[in-house]
Structure 1
Amino acid sequence: MEFKISEAQREMIVAVRALAQTEFRRDAAKWMDGTFPWPNMKRLAELGVLGMSVPEEYGGLGLSILDSALILEEIAKVDYVTAMAVLGEAGVQTRVISHYAPKAIKERILPRVVSGDCILAICMTEPDAGTDVANYRTNTVRKGNHLVLNGAKTLISRAEEAGMFVVFTRVEGKPGREGIGCVLVERGTPGLAVTGTYHTMGGENLHEVQFNDVELPPENLVIEEDGFRKLLTAFNTQRCLNPSISLGLAEGAFDEAVSYVKERKIFGKAIASSQGIRWKFADMFREIEAARGLLYRACMTASPFPDPIMAATAKVFCNEMSIRVTSEAIQVHGGYGFTDEYPVSRLFRGARYGSLGGGSSESLRDLVGKRILEGADLTDGILSLDTY
């Protein structure tokens, strides 16, 4: 097996890294109050990055999920808030539109995603249901020649800025998971309201979104038949891109810690000369590289969406690895690591989000465990799971 990024991927990484390590690094603390990083999004649009998941026919780059993960990883090394903003353009919402929306909607929305003029928000979590999709109450019904959407979503990223909302909804009140579909709601539609704001420890704001008798054209129901399977299949994209941010945060904290221990002295010597400190870095490096291998492999299973078991496995490992590594980076900074003067505290706060969004670690462990016990056999063992 050859595990090597292409020259085109390397050039892309270098371009994004140059932007992130200069402009984004300099201003990263500015966005911690919940301000949306519009200047950064503008610069990324100029670079073409916001169109990474948009097909070329609509002005995008049509990049793979691995390419998207590599880009988000570079941004997250210095700026969690901007990485999360870009996740909306690279993630499942863009791919749902690209794969399932009518051509007229694609032509209207996707070029605006590429230019940075249309931010996308995905609306899943409800006040009484997060992972428990089967208990969603948001509902869409047909009424005459249009659709009517009612319900509420909570903890929604980018809601204040979004030009389009990709909404997971029940269709015609059909119960259970089989009743879940997807509608598109454009900002400014009567009955749509962004009502509540939650400021997060990572710096970004999350919001509540209300849909009160929102009337939509029938073509805005982009997924209905076999909707739950299609949505969850597409959502495996998020389970590769969320952990790419976790990986980037860990790498950024690791780099900050390396620089610090080489310069910081104790008893007349750089603390990097301590065996105990060197062992910490060996452990952090091992965890980062193990996470990288799992994540990149999961991304490479995409056709067009990633394998659900590999994506879930990579997500759990990367999310939890990031918490451990960013925490250790704070530890080697000593008391300074606990202050806002050093980036490691900001990176640690961002890392805590990963295992909460896009499927909790607990729910994904259960998913993987079920697949193992149902799919593995005594003859082929783990190879029978078809994840290799």
Structure 2
Amino acid sequence: MTDFHFKLSDAQRRLIGDVRAVVQSEFKPRGEEFMQGAFPWPNIRKLGEMGILGMAVPKAYGGMELGVFDTALVLEEIAKGCYVTAMAVLGEVGTQTRIIATYAPEAVKQRLLPGVAKGEHLLSICMTEPHAGTDVGAYTTNVERRGGKLVLNGTKSLVSRAEEASAFVVFARVDDQPGGEGIGCVLVDRDTKGLVHKNRSHSMGGEYLHTIAFENCELPEENLLLGPGSLKKLLSAFNTQRCLNPAISLGISEGAFSEALAYAKSRKAFGRSIGEFQGMRWKLADMWREIEAARGLLYRACAGADPFPDPLLAATAKIYCNEISVRITSEAIQVFGGYGFTDEFLVSRMYRAARYGSLGGGTSETLRDLVGKRLMNADNPADVFDLADF
């Protein structure tokens, strides 16, 4: 088994400290503005200057080339103060950037990755379709290789950052090949003729989610990032999201807990702080316990995740982190009482943000089924705790 421990290096501590200082002093005070739908450009530019947006970009293209664990630590820290910014950063350090960095032709890497690292290019991923989400094999968006070029047609929904993105990484069927084996991946630049923004919906978490269509979009051949038969590679890269999405959930939980603890110390009732009452102390103790359990699961999944995580560990961590974030933020509101129900307090916004975790990057139901299948396929039930090396 791999040597495994949670002690952070000095470099990791410095990185977290730098991010924390910016988040708490600059991002957190402006968080309500971005929950109303404004894109957090000031925060993104600041993180670009710090090099944070290049975490998934190789050093050869101007990035930091950090692992999944380091990336999760940073997202956790950002989410403590501003969920919308954390989600925007996820788009730069997650699946789409890692697909390009790992699989794209050299010309595409040189064209996009330096700009991603500086915050000049934002990337958006297009997977879900109006009729299919988890069922990737049912996607109908299709790219056809025709006379030295690519022609893309189809519709994608629930797309983040569609108005801000410089390019879209699109999961698509290739040459109408059927089933999951026919799925590949193409890159579409935002100024491509035939890329149409259909509509957008404002989400509980503050982001806008878009439906976009590709109507006979002509692309150069180099924009075919992965051809048919690549679904396993694409899902392996996507599995990274199952470590980074829960890092945001964990950060939300920690941020809400910190707000609740501070309020429990300062709010007075019957001549003493409400935190001195046994019922409140027990509530805080249970919140802390769940957060620490979630941290252990997530850090374990991240520690051996390079280049991509173990599916069992990532799924388990994601389920737990996603679900405790809803419980923790709900309990934080309870600590605040009626004030927690108002938008004046951060815990209200965190509660809304927490609900996204178990929907994006694979639903809790899908991941529970994945874990269950892995357990059922074990040769010896006595060995199930050795399924994931750590």
TM-score by length of 1: 0.98
Cα-Cα RMSD: 0.9
Do structure 1's residue 83 and structure 2's residue 67 form an aligned pair?
A: no
Alignment equivalent of 1:301, drawn from 299, 304, 314: 304
Shift of 1:387: 3.5
The AA in structure 2 aligned to 1:196 is N
Distance change >3 Å, CA 256–CA 140, structure 1 → 2: same
1:78-106 per-position Cα deviation (integer Å, ceiling 9, x unaligned): 10100000000010100000000011110
Question: Any residues of structure 2 matched to 1:145-294 within 5 Å, and which?
Answer: 145-294=148-297
* C-alpha contact (below 8 Å) 1:72/1:241 kept by paired residues: yes
Structure 2 CA distance, aligned partners of 1:151 and 1:348?
A: 34
Shift of 1:225: 4.4
SS in 2 for 1:222: strand
SS in 2 for 1:353: coil
* C-alpha contact (below 8 Å) 1:134/1:177 kept by paired residues: yes
User: Number of residue pairs matched?
Assistant: 387
* C-alpha contact (below 8 Å) 1:376/1:384 kept by paired residues: no
Structure 2 CA distance, aligned partners of 1:38 and 1:3?
A: 33
Shift of 1:41: 0.3
Shift of 1:375: 2.0
The AA in structure 2 aligned to 1:192 is L
Structure 2 CA distance, aligned partners of 1:16 and 1:384?
A: 36
Structure 2 CA distance, aligned partners of 1:376 and 1:36?
A: 49
Structure 1 CA distance, aligned partners of 2:212 and 2:286?
A: 42
Structure 1 CA distance, aligned partners of 2:281 and 2:136?
A: 45
* C-alpha contact (below 8 Å) 1:376/1:385 kept by paired residues: no
Do structure 1's residue 73 and structure 2's residue 83 form an aligned pair?
A: no
SS in 2 for 1:4: coil
SS in 1 for 2:225: strand
Alignment equivalent of 2:19, drawn from 13, 16, 20: 16
Structure 2 CA distance, aligned partners of 1:14 and 1:376?
A: 45
Structure 2 CA distance, aligned partners of 1:383 and 1:254?
A: 31
Gaps of 5+ in 1: none
Structure 2 CA distance, aligned partners of 1:268 and 1:29?
A: 33
Structure 1 CA distance, aligned partners of 2:320 and 2:36?
A: 29
* C-alpha contact (below 8 Å) 2:310/2:388 kept by paired residues: no
Structure 1 CA distance, aligned partners of 2:214 and 2:68?
A: 31
SS in 2 for 1:162: coil
The AA in structure 1 aligned to 2:43 is N
* C-alpha contact (below 8 Å) 2:129/2:156 kept by paired residues: yes
Q: Give the structure 1 partner of residue 139 of structure 2.
A: 136
Structure 1 CA distance, aligned partners of 2:388 and 2:25?
A: 42
Do structure 1's residue 341 and structure 2's residue 340 form an aligned pair?
A: no
Structure 2 CA distance, aligned partners of 1:254 and 1:383?
A: 31
Q: Give the structure 1 partner of residue 124 of structure 2.
A: 121
SS in 2 for 1:331: helix
Structure 2 CA distance, aligned partners of 1:384 and 1:7?
A: 31
Shift of 1:384: 4.2
Alignment equivalent of 2:362, drawn from 359, 362, 375: 359
Structure 1 CA distance, aligned partners of 2:291 and 2:35?
A: 25
Q: Give the structure 2 partner of residue 329 of structure 1.
A: 332
SS in 1 for 2:306: coil
Q: Give the structure 2 partner of residue 381 of structure 1.
A: 383
TM-score by length of 2: 0.98
Structure 1 CA distance, aligned partners of 2:335 and 2:48?
A: 37
Identical positions, percent: 61
SS in 2 for 1:299: helix
Structure 2 CA distance, aligned partners of 1:201 and 1:100?
A: 34
Structure 2 CA distance, aligned partners of 1:375 and 1:167?
A: 34
Runs of 4+ in structure 1 deviating by more than 2 angstroms, as ranges, are none
Structure 2 CA distance, aligned partners of 1:19 and 1:314?
A: 27
